[in-house]
Amino acid sequence: MLFMTGPRTGGERYLTERLSDPEYREAYQMARDRIDQIDRVISTFDARRNELNLTKAELARRAGVKPEAIRRLFTSENPNPTLSTLVALAAALDLELRPEPRTVPAGTTPGRSAIVRTRHRTA
């Protein structure tokens, strides 16, 4: 039996084509890394909430955050919490938020800031 290993849907073909552009690929990877990092933080918070046997409502009360914000944070496909919310949740869960330098694979250089790459459009 012959199996196709390439893109199967129009969306997959489109993405594959776009990723052949180095600039697009770099922007895509930056966005993917950002999403993955948010997912890791949210997963850690939810695991800690479960470890402490807290309901979402109890966590909201502890953190001084609206319960609907907590529900959205743990159930939304695209959570985008504010730093203030993350700090409040970390404190309520007895966790620390610590920015740490990224490890950069050998042979690569750290990426430029997304701000540097922002294109300014002119009329």
Domain spans of the chain, in order of start: 20-96
pLDDT at position 11 = 87
Distance, CA of 62 to CA of 93 (rounded, Å): 9
pLDDT at position 29 = 93
* CATH architecture of the domain with residue range 20-96: Orthogonal Bundle (1.10)
Q: How many CB atoms lie within 10 A of CB 17?
A: 11
Does residue 118 surpass a pLDDT of 80? no
What token pair was written down for 103?
Answer: 């490890």
pLDDT at position 103 = 80
Among 34-38, 60-64, 69-73, 80-84, top mean pLDDT goes to: 60-64
- List of long-range contacts for 80-89, beta carbons under 8 Å, 24+ apart: 80/38, 81/38, 81/42, 86/41, 88/63, 88/64, 89/45, 89/59, 89/63, 89/65
